[in-house]
Structure 1
Amino acid sequence: MKHYIDIPQVINYKDMLKNYYSFSSNTYKQLIMKNNNVKTLKECLERDLKRSDLGCEVGSSAYVKKSKYCFIKSRALQKYSFLPNFEKSASEYIIPQAFINMNLKENDVIISKDSNIGEVIILDKDYPNTMLSGALYKLPIKKNKFYILSIIKHDIFKQQLDFLVPKGATIRHAKTLFLDCKIPFPKNNIEQTIAFVEKITKSIINKEKLIRKRHEQITNLIQEELVNNQKKDKFIYKEPTIKDLEENARLDTGIHSKDFKYIEFLVKNYKNGYFFIDNENIKSGNTPEIRYISDYENLPYKWLTPTHFNSYGNIIIDEYIRHKKTNNIKNDCILLVNRGDGIDCGKSMFYCFKDFGLGHHNQGLYKVFGYDTARLIFILCFLNTNFMRKYCGLLTTGSKMKELKIEHFLTIPFPNFTSKKQQEISNLYYNPNIDIDYKMVKLDNFDNIDNEFCKNAGIYNLDKNIKYLKKILNSTIDKIINEEDINIRF
């Protein structure tokens, strides 16, 4: 990450006098931005912010288990995504009486003023019956919306806001200070440069939407194949017997619940049978005692822990490690989360050795290997479905931190779909036969080539392309900030 804030090592008396004898280093921070063609965020808005642009706190007493009304919290805004992320209680159902209609529409830009201050997202669709928390503003931006969005998402914006907002003892509150942050605009080749930035930003957003669509397609395909190809047996739920408790050696209700038993029945009653992960094909990870971990790519091994990837099986934190021990990832494999929140356990990602090279994972992940790529990806896709997230959560043990041990993973049944069906599902996550040759891509043909790629790209392919485009996007914004020449190429 580049740093655009300068903290002087020495201050003089005049500076102290001007700042009322403040000894806080925060007071003397300065923004380093060579480009002076800037506007404040406030100047980029179509109009001044209104009270109706700000969300409202409804209080936890308004939360309910199910409702047609919803409440979005600030944690739905995450650095790694342009779209809202509703994992880990980032939204809540609320009673109708607490709802305030904010008319949230597709492409509305939402910014956080509290907690993760300055974080921003754009809505991927209309959100009727949904409101924002009191930490969130809806920004009225029309002109150059996607350009401005990309600048707010860039480190330059967060770093400005960081020294504008006083350091709080607990949660920091930006109020509307984010409006004072500067948005740099290109000095030369203005229209084409803005169009270039906006085209990349729109492509990233579109691919993030497609990742969610592919995930939904995978879940639907698996569910349809299971439900439509059952043996003649019918599911009948029975309360656990003493024998059941003795066989499982567990008194907790998770594995004896109706939901768990129904999912297990669907798999084991599948007409083509089922299979288990072989004991020889799953291994635990470890964290070396002596290690150096950083986002510096030249370190020898890619570093993976449960927090490094999301529910779609994509890496969201890029880190690397150096240590004296032998690394534990040397070829294609999938990594399974074995501890954390219940719903996180069993969450999986694909480690593509061709792309990542040598890697190392910690003890919070199990590695599954030794199968062909299509079988590995199918296991991953199956575990990442919404119903298997529930199944794995019910299978976990532990009170504070939930856990799935190797012996638990070995009991999970996987439906023995035909090779053709497994390949169809696997391709929605990882299509090894698709890529973009950016040597042939120009601004005027980008959309056609990009759309053609998206037709057959899987979740992994889309995420890989997003990371490539984000590097170009951040590099371009860096050049705008530093008033450097910009080459319009991909």
Structure 2
Amino acid sequence: MSSQYINQYIKVPLSISLKTIEEKGYTLSSSQYMDLNMPNRNFKFVKEFLSRPLKRSDLGNEIGSVNYITQSPFFFIRTKALQPHTFLPEITSETTLPIIPKVFVNNNLREGDLIISKDSNIGEIAILDRDYSNFMISGAIYKLPVKQNKYYLLAMLKHAIFREQLDFMVPKGATIRHAKTLFLDCKIPLPNIHAEETIQYVEMLTQAIVNKEKLIKERHENILLSIEEELINGKQQTDFEFEYPGIDEVFINGRLDTGLYNEKFKKWNYLVKNYKNGSADLISRGFDWSRGTSLEKNFIKTRVDSDKYQEGFYELVLPTNISLYGYVDKSLYIGTPTKLKTISKGDIIFGGEGFGKGRTYVVVEESNNVATNYHGIRIINKNKDLIESIFIRCFLAFWRSKGMIDFIGVGGSGGHCAPSYFHLIETPLFDKTKQSQIARLYHNGSLNYDFKTFSLVNFMEMDETYNVQAGIYELDKTAKQLKILLDRALDRIINDKAVDFFV
């Protein structure tokens, strides 16, 4: 029987026998005849990794949108908190919602627990980076009771071998798909060659990636806290007093559709303007701007898109792919004869519109052939000071966390914060020492990460030593490098081949 591949690990036959149709109950649905293409026949089912069978208490609860409120000490974790690009849950105002305390159900969420989505984004999984004692999970999420080989299972559940199995097991056609507990019947391949060492290697890589993602979140929080403490401790003696806008203020701003008159905006703006060393708006400080090239076909005419690097293609850094923490989740590539505007070392990419509004990324290394789109605003430091550029990126992240970018911007559905409003972004004149301290949490260019020196014996210790001094940029960069090694190892296990460690 011949077959064709619809993806990497699932095959569907081009022809079937009458006997096979009879065995399948005379169904002609193509999904019923798909088969798993996994050369390695040594496997366990997901359910065999569990320390006990799943119980109803392992599943979250639905509380209904009527119980969502604006502020509460208790939160509801939605399935969208589980994302493919990270091992950790993404805790944001969109993924976790404050709820009425009386409907809170304690799911006993502890650091190291695995949670998996059975509905909507089926099969997405995350490991908890801390205790979430005041959070509950939705009725579409299971907490998995796993004690042994937890990180090996986590790695495989993040891999395409699991996603593709689950995808063809779950019925198609519904707007929201429901996997129930079908994920328990997915096969997880186990190594046959140097099995113990290989499992140890996979677990070490996965744990190291998780550790780096935890530290990225910590560095981000430390950046925000450092800026806030410096502003509060460095303010002039006068206290802020809120006043409603007068007619003169409205005429000066020339706007009514704005948050510039909001008490919270005025309070934080007052703190910056009353900082002991003074302040300057973004433009007066010496920054300029330039929008990226429009990538619409009616403008660039010819374009070829790719998820992987191709020689001569531009690498695209898009605002929608910039994370909350200031790194790029993924890059896309585009081939076109049209000359695109490229970004340079020290440039800040600022999301001007929509979901990515106010998200920022600073280019800390020399770059060639890297571009952004029209929604990516290139903020250029005419002072050619990398430390200052990194600090300003960190301050913009702080400003966004306080809602200040939303106050300045306009429009619905995410709105926009166009360069014409950059003069409204007031920045504090922290001294060089403080700027450097904050910038170092984002980038430390003096470090070296050398795979050639790693072994199963020393890897975790050497990686942890590196992490102590690494900034967000380095933590993300090395996590991506480890993910490449991890994917390579998992692919070889699936294909029943020996795994070369740290190669």
TM-score interval for Structure 1 and Structure 2 normalised by the shorter chain: over 0.9
* Structure 2 Cα separation of the partners of residues 168 and 388 of structure 1: 39
Q: TM-score, normalised by structure 1?
A: 0.96
Q: Specify the alignment match of 1:432 in structure 2.
A: 445
- Seen in structure 2, the aligned counterparts of structure 1 residues 180 and 13 have a Cα distance that, compared at 3 Å, is same
What is the CA distance between 1:397 and its match in structure 2? Answer: 0.5
3-state SS in 2 of match to 1:399? coil
Q: Residue 291 of structure 1 is aligned with which of 299, 303, 310?
A: 303
- Give 3-state SS (helix, strand or coil) of 1:408's partner: helix
Amino acid in the other structure paired with 2:375:
G
Q: Given that residues 112 and 120 in structure 1 are in contact (C-alpha distance below 8 angstroms), is that contact kept between their aligned partners in structure 2?
A: yes
Whole-angstrom CA distance in 1 between matches of 2:378 and 2:146 = 46
**Matching of residues 63-462 of structure 1 within 5 Å:** 63-278=68-283, 281-288=288-295, 289=297, 290-299=302-311, 300-332=313-345, 333-341=347-355, 344-354=356-366, 357-370=368-381, 371-385=384-398, 388-462=401-475
Q: Residues 388-424 of structure 1, C-alpha deviation per residue, up to 9 Å, x if partnerless?
A: 5510011110123400111112321111111111111
Instruction: Measure the CA separation in 1 of the matches of 2:425 and 2:364.
Output: 24
SS of the residue aligned with 2:44? strand
| Greater mean deviation of Cα atoms: 468-477 or 307-316 | 307-316
Aligned residue type for 1:161: L
- Mapped pair 1:464 → 2:477: yes
CA distance in structure 2 between the partners assigned to 1:386 and 1:368 by the alignment: 16
State how 1:38-53 maps to structure 2 within 5 Å. 38-53=43-58
8 A contact 2:191–2:199 mirrored in 1:
yes
Specify every segment of 5 or more residues in structure 2 that has no aligned partner in the other structure, as ranges. 1-5
Contact 1:330–1:353 (8 Å) recurs in 2: no
Match of 2:62 among 49, 57, 62: 57
Give the conservation status (yes or no) of the 8 Å contact 1:78–1:119. yes
* Contact 1:291–1:323 (CA under 8 A) maintained in structure 2: yes
CA offsets 1:201-226 (integer angstroms, 9 cap, x no match): 11111111101110111111111111
Tell me, in whole angstroms, the C-alpha distance in 2 between the residues paired with 1:258 and 1:453.
43
1:232–1:280: structure 2 CA closer, same or farther, 3 Å change rule?
closer
User: What is the CA–CA distance in structure 2 between the aligned matches of 1:401 and 1:432, rounded to whole Å?
Assistant: 34
Aligned length: 487
The answer (yes or no) to whether the contact 2:258–2:410 under 8 Å persists in 1 is no
Deviation at residue 464 of structure 1 after TM alignment? 0.3
* Aligned residues of 2:441 and 2:472 also touching (Cα < 8 A): yes
Paired residue secondary structure (1:7) = strand
Distance 1:173 1:274 in 2: 53
Any idea what the Cα deviations from partners look like across 1:101-151, whole Å, max 9, x if unmatched? 211111110000000000000111111132110000001111111111110
SS of residue in 2 equivalent to 1:282? strand
Report the Cα offset of residue 232 of structure 1. 3.2
Q: CA deviation at 1:304?
A: 2.1
1:26 to 27, 31, 39: 31
Shift of 1:330: 4.2
Question: Is residue 474 of structure 1 aligned with residue 487 of structure 2?
Answer: yes
Contact 1:283 1:366 (8 Å CA) reproduced: yes
Superimposed CA distance per residue, residues 305-326 of structure 1 (whole angstroms, 9 cap, x where no aligned partner): 2211111011112211111211
In 2, the alpha carbon distance for the partners of 1:108 and 1:165 equals: 25
What is the CA–CA distance in structure 2 between the aligned matches of 1:103 and 1:330, rounded to whole Å?
Answer: 46
SS at the partner of 1:477?
A: helix
Instruction: Give the Cα–Cα distance (whole angstroms) in 2 for the partners of residues 154 and 48 of structure 1.
Output: 23
Q: Which amino acid aligns with 2:440?
A: N
CA shift for structure 1 position 15: 2.8
- Let me know the Cα RMSD of the aligned residues: 1.7
Report if the CA contact (8 A) 1:55-1:135 is conserved.
Answer: yes
C-alpha contact (below 8 Å) 2:357/2:414 kept by paired residues: no
SS of residue paired to 1:204: helix
- Name the amino acid aligned to 1:427: R
| Identity percentage of aligned residues | 41
Letter in 1 for 2:498: D
Cα offsets for 1:77-107 (capped at 9, x unmatched): 0001111101252111112221222111111
Residue 13 of structure 1, CA deviation:
2.9
| Unaligned residue ranges in structure 1 (runs of 5+) | none
SS of the residue aligned with 2:492?
helix
**Matched residues in 2 for 1:469 and 1:2: separation?**
24
307 and 269 in structure 1: CA distance in 2 versus 1, 3 angstrom threshold: same
1:76–1:85 contact (8 Å) kept in structure 2? yes
Moved more, 235-244 or 17-26: 17-26
| Higher mean displacement: 227-236 or 76-85 | 227-236
The answer on whether the counterparts of 1:211 and 1:462 sit within 8 Å (CA) in structure 2 is yes
AA aligned opposite 1:187: N
Distance 2:287 2:455 in 1: 49
Cross-structure match for 1:36: 41
Specify the SS of the correspondent of 2:148.
coil
Counterpart of 1:485 in structure 2 is 498
Deviation of 1:366 after TM superposition, in Å, equals 0.3
Structure 2 counterpart of 1:146, one-letter code: Y
Q: SS of 1:92's equivalent? A: strand
* Residues in 2 aligned to 1:472 and 1:422: alpha-carbon distance in whole angstroms: 35
**8 Å CA contact 2:279, 2:428 repeated in 1:** yes
Give the Cα–Cα distance (whole angstroms) in 1 for the partners of residues 415 and 116 of structure 2.
33
Amino acid at match of 2:156: I
CA contact (8 A) 1:106 1:124 kept: yes
